[in-house]
């Protein structure tokens, strides 16, 4: 299968390129920089998602497109950063779909990233793919992002939206930033620790994207493991995995001072279950947090 990937230089994209290449798929990367470092045999075309549709030679022969590109959310928010976060997803996805719509033979499948931020902070409520979106900033961004992706269905494209939770990998993402203080014994829960965390091992998330490409699924898939945990449980499990105590909680006001409005996503409670992927037959290699962290930290 010919697959075009955007945002391939990120944590998820790098793992996907490795997995898809090993499975025999032919890959093309659409990147802001034509000199992007990619594995041998992977094609590269230059594309800035904010400046218009992708070049036709990057998507003309694609059977599937995986869209991961977007401004990082994990940074201190201000008016300009929030604008970039929203536009990189909404306008970027709109430009991608417009480019696909112009093709004589558009790809059969578009798999677009989204996030569990779609649900907002919902306490102990169990959230599945059919749960309603919240009305907070990040939830609104996710809903608008998914709407742009879903517009590709009008052109006969099967669309999958993967709502991603906390991705576990020691070499990148949130866990990489957590590990130094935890390894020094200075880790601790965030706020009261009662908020639910929906997490997923990077290997399972990459496998879910590949599953979405190779199988006739459509609509939303929650990109999370089947056993969410509270922040307090996550903290204690990570501390045990690195053989250190976790006795330094970070109060909510401290997070607010450090991260501003972005601290809301660190304190959000999202008890999300992967109902749709499990119903479609997807199997997790790492359904339980202890085993996932053991594997991640052994690499």
- Residue 127 to residue 43: CA distance in whole angstroms: 39
Query: Given a cut of 90, is residue 40 above it in pLDDT?
Result: no
Query: Given a cut of 90, is residue 258 above it in pLDDT?
Result: no
Regarding pTM above 0.85, the answer is yes
Query: Given a cut of 90, is residue 259 above it in pLDDT?
Result: no
By DSSP bridging, strand 158-164 and strand 271-272 are unpaired
Domain chopping of the chain, boundaries: 2-168+198-224+271-285
In the prediction, which pLDDT does 35 show?
63
% of the chain exceeding 90 in pLDDT: 90
For domain 2-168+198-224+271-285, give the CATH superfamily.
NAD(P)-binding Rossmann-like Domain (3.40.50.720)
- 274: tokens are 């992967």
Nearest to 200 by CA among 248, 164, 162, 244: 164
By DSSP bridging, strand 199-201 and strand 166-168 are parallel
Q: Where do we find the tokens 């959310």?
A: 73
- Residue 165 to residue 229: CA distance in whole angstroms: 12
- Residue 180 to residue 197: CA distance in whole angstroms: 20
Determine the 3-state secondary structure of 251 from DSSP: coil
Query: Given a cut of 80, is residue 230 above it in pLDDT?
Result: yes
Contact 122, 270 (CB under 8 A): yes
In the prediction, which pLDDT does 33 show?
76
Contact 175, 20 (CB under 8 A): no
Q: In angstroms, what CA-CA distances link 91 with 53, 98, 141, 191?
A: 10, 10, 11, 35
């Amino acid at each position: 299968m010919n697959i075009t990937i955007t945002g391939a230089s990120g944590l998820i994209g790098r793992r996907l390129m490795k997995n898809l290449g090993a499975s025999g798929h032919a890959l093309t990367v659409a990147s802001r920089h034509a000199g992007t470092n990619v594995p041998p045999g992977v094609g590269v075309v230059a594309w800035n998602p904010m400046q218009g549709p992708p070049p036709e030679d990057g998507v003309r022969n694609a059977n599937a497109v995986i869209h991961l590109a977007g401004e990082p959310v994990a940074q201190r928010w201000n008016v300009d950063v929030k604008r970039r976060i929203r536009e990189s997803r909404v306008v970027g996805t709109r430009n991608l779909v417009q480019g696909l719509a112009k093709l004589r033979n558009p790809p059969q499948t578009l798999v677009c990233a989204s996030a569990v931020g779609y649900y907002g902070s919902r306490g102990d409520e169990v959230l599945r793919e059919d749960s309603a979106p919240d009305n907070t900033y990040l939830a609104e961004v996710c809903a608008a992002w998914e709407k742009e992706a879903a517009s590709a269905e009008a052109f006969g494209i099967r669309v999958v939206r993967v709502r991603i939770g906390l991705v576990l990998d020691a070499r990148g993402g949130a866990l990489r930033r957590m590990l130094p203080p935890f390894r020094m014994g200075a880790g601790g829960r965030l706020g009261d620790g009662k908020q639910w965390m929906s997490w997923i091992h990077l290997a399972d998330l990459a496998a879910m994207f590949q599953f979405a490409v190779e199988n006739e699924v459509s609509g939303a898939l929650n990109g999370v493991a089947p056993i969410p945990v509270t922040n307090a449980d996550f903290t204690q499990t990570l501390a045990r995995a690195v053989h250190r105590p976790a006795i330094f909680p970070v109060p909510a006001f401290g997070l607010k001072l450090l991260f501003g409005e972005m601290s809301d996503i660190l304190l959000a409670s999202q008890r999300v279950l992967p109902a749709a992927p499990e119903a479609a037959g997807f199997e997790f290699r790492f359904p339980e947090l202890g085993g996932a962290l053991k594997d991640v930290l052994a690499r």
